[in-house]
Amino acid sequence: MQKIVPCLWFDGNGEDALKFYSSIFPNSRVTDRLFWGDTNPSLKGSLLTATFELDGQAFMVLNGGPEYKFTPAISMLVQCETQAEVDYYWDRLLEGGGQPVQCGWLTDRYGVSWQVAPMAMIRMFQDKDPAKAARAMRAMMKMIKLDLAVAQKAFDGE
């Protein structure tokens, strides 16, 4: 059991979001669903909450209504090992109306913010040589989708 589970608040489209995210990430599964009952007759039978896993990470969706919206103050970080992985998650999370932002960030069609980052680039930023790290960081600051090859060239001083 995962002790802390992020709960994502949706305005009635939690089931759609659950299906969308599960189609993108491997090893995804729904672990349970709770439906509205007699306490809210107008929504009776529709999804209230569902817990699910995306590649082993537990989440909950809550169809809570229009009161709250997502902001970039909370984002999901997708740690990628290759450019192909970055490209896959970037493209898939933008499907259906998502918006690219800057520096590897995007907002999906539901308003959830994601960071799609190659971990090799993060390691460049942490390098002991501050000049190399700074060159890689400057290159990244110009990007929308992160490009590992461009960052590597900057890191190497090319």
What are the residue boundaries of the structural domains of the chain, listed by start?
1-68, 70-158
The DSSP code for 50 is E
Phi/psi zone of residue 110: left (φ > 0), alpha (ψ -120 to 50 degrees), beta? alpha
Domain 70-158 is in which class? Answer: alpha beta
pTM beyond 0.75: yes
Fold of 1-68: 2,3-Dihydroxybiphenyl 1,2-Dioxygenase; domain 1 (3.10.180)
What are the φ/ψ torsions at residue 124 (nearest 5 degrees)? Answer: -60, -45
Judged by DSSP in three states, 5 sits in coil
Quick one: pLDDT at residue 43?
87
pLDDT in tens, 9-31: 999 999 999 999 999 999 999 99
